[in-house]
Amino acid sequence: MHDQRRPLTATLGVGADGHPVRINLEWEADGGAGPHCLITGPSQSESWAVMATLARGLHAGQRRGDLELVVTGSGDLDIDVAHRCGRP
């Protein structure tokens, strides 16, 4: 049995060059740029679509309790992944 959690990385899609676009939310000391991420966009629905993709990618393969997603903003967010809402 593997005791370490899966790295906090996710594939968001494919870029214009045809290569996968990935995000790494590991601590900077571990080669990442995290452990936080800010998503903004021209519309709330577009930002939430990116959030849902990111949440599913980060959640995949994690054991229960290894990942906590905190979402801030207004309205209801349906990302198909367990999360809690924080207030901005």
Give yes or no for residue 82 having a pLDDT over 70.
yes
Residue 49 to residue 39: CA distance in whole angstroms: 10
All residues at 6 or more sequence positions from 70 whose CB lies less than 8 Å from its CB, including other chains = 83, 84, 85, 86
pTM above 0.85? no
pLDDT tens profile 48-70 = 888 888 888 888 878 887 888 88
